[in-house]
């Protein structure tokens, strides 16, 4: 496996770094003091300029309006964008839209693609994904109460969802609902497209997370489906394919997330090092002269480097053998990189002292908003147990 960067990757990194310096970083002070909704006019202007780079929706084929990057190439771009809290949004490669685009490409009908995918790729609309339910353990995704029952040519959806990221202002949701309750466990649920202006789709509230309810894209929302009626033609794939589709989405999605986290780590390390080099504890004695701070820097660099190689290896394997063959690698990077990010952020905040707790840097923002990385898409403990069981099966031990 060759870990060297191709000329194309180097070019993409160069374009993104230049754009970030000119368009993204100058907006950060304002972003940290205003709501996402208040920032939308300037973010839309930045999006228009991002389109001119040829890397807007870069994860998609050029024929569909994207940048045509492979999964591994996009991983490098995602790392660069991860250095700022809103850069993925500016380039229209933000979750959950990035995954919803991929679902529609693989499983959408021509009509669904025309109505939902094309405006999503252009950045004209946003979407959300509703799966997690407050009444059921998120660590057991097959256990859910939301149903979609046939009535004539329609599905009627009833259920309660929460932590539907970016649902505030979204034009449509992909809803995971039980359509075949008597089927085998992983064949009970389906994915259904639900325009958010459909009667019965209720945006109950933006959930307060770490003291912030957020606005527009930067939200996690509670959603209620109350006799919400949509045509059966809004079904994605076939009935009972919900978890199969979710698995197809999961592998690339993990690459996107984990490389974004590595970008966060790199920015946090840079902030820590700059502070260590310039902050004096006494005249002529920089913070970086202290062995404890040197240890934080060295450990962070080693952990980031190791995490990056793990993710690139997982992306390489997905591209060559498919997500199913890379299940162990996908699980490993989820909990490894999430924990690495948490440790690096903690060290950077500690090194900055009181400054690290303020909103003068992005560290406090990430500390509050990225702690969930160890929970969403499966808690760390679920992935750790899954990997351990797969390893032990090789030794003849079957663990339930």
Per-residue pLDDT of 141-192, as tens digits, reads 889 999 999 999 999 999 999 999 999 999 999 999 999 999 999 999 999 9
Q: Is 301 a residue whose pLDDT tops 70? A: yes
d(CA 99, CA 226): 26
What pLDDT shows up at residue 380? 92
The string of pLDDT tens digits covering residues 315-331 is 999 999 988 889 999 99
Domains and CATH numbers, the chain: 7-94 (1.10.540.10), 127-240 (2.40.110.10), 243-393 (1.20.140.10)
In percent, how much of the chain has pLDDT > 70?
A: 99
The string of pLDDT tens digits covering residues 352-363 is 999 999 999 999
d(CA 248, CA 322): 9
Question: What are the C-alpha distances in Å from 397 to residues 109, 350, 386, 392?
Answer: 44, 43, 13, 5
Tokens of 54: 């040829």
Q: Is 3 a residue whose pLDDT tops 80? A: no
pLDDT band at 2 (very low <50, low <70, confident <90, very high): low
Q: Is 125 a residue whose pLDDT tops 70? A: yes
What pLDDT shows up at residue 385? 92
Q: Is 294 a residue whose pLDDT tops 90? A: yes
Q: Report, as an integer, the average pLDDT of 63-79.
A: 95
pLDDT band at 300 (very low <50, low <70, confident <90, very high): very high
The string of pLDDT tens digits covering residues 221-263 is 999 999 999 999 999 999 999 999 998 877 888 999 999 999 9
pTM, two decimal places: 0.95
Taking all residues of the chain, what is their mean pLDDT, rounded to a whole number? 95
CB atoms within 10 A of CB 288: 18
Q: Is 120 a residue whose pLDDT tops 90? A: yes
What pLDDT shows up at residue 323? 86
What pLDDT shows up at residue 400? 72
What pLDDT shows up at residue 91? 98
Q: Report, as an integer, the average pLDDT of 103-126.
A: 97
d(CA 80, CA 100): 22
What pLDDT shows up at residue 191? 98
What pLDDT shows up at residue 139? 80
pLDDT band at 1 (very low <50, low <70, confident <90, very high): low
């Amino acid at each position: 496996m060759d870990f060297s960067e191709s000329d194309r990757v180097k070019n993409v990194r160069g374009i993104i770094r230049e754009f970030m310096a000119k368009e993204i970083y100058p907006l950060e002070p304002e972003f940290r003091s205003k709501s996402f909704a208040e920032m939308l006019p300037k973010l839309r202007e930045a999006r228009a300029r991002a389109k001119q780079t040829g890397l807007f929706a870069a994860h998609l084929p050029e024929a569909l309006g994207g940048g045509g990057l492979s999964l591994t190439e996009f991983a490098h771009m995602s790392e660069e964008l991860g250095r700022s809290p809103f850069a993925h949004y500016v380039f229209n490669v933000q979750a959950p839209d990035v995954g919803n685009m991929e679902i529609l490409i693989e499983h959408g009908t021509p009509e669904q693609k025309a109505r939902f995918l094309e405006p999503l790729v252009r950045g004209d609309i946003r979407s959300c994904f509703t799966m997690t339910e407050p009444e059921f353990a998120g660590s057991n995704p097959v256990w859910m109460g939301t149903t979609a029952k046939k009535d004539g040519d329609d599905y009627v959806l009833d259920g309660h969802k929460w932590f539907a990221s970016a649902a505030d202002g979204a034009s449509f949701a992909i809803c995971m609902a039980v359509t075949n309750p008597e089927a085998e466990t992983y064949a009970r649920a389906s994915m259904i497209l639900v325009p958010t202006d459909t009667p019965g789709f209720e945006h109950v509230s933006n959930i307060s997370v770490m003291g912030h309810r957020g606005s527009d894209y930067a939200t996690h929302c509670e959603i209620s489906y109350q006799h919400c009626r949509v045509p059966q033609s809004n079904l994605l794939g076939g009935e009972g394919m919900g978890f199969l589709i979710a698995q197809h989405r999961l592998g690339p999605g993990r690459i996107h997330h984990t490389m974004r986290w590595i970008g966060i780590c790199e920015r946090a390390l840079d902030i820590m090092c700059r502070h260590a080099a310039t902050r004096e504890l006494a005249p002529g004695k920089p913070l970086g002269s202290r062995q404890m701070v040197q240890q934080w820097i060295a450990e962070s660099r080693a952990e980031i480097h190791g995490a990056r190689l793990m993710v690139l290896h997982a992306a390489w394997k997905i591209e060559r053998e498919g997500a199913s063959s890379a299940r162990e690698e996908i699980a490993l990077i989820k909990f490894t990189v999430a924990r690495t990010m948490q440790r690096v952020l903690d060290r950077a905040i500690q090194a900055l002292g009181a400054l690290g707790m303020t909103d003068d840097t992005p560290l406090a923002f990430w500390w509050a908003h990225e702690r969930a990385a160890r929970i969403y898409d499966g808690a760390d403990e679920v992935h750790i147990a899954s990997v351990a069981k797969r390893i032990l099966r090789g030794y003849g031990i079957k663990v339930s």
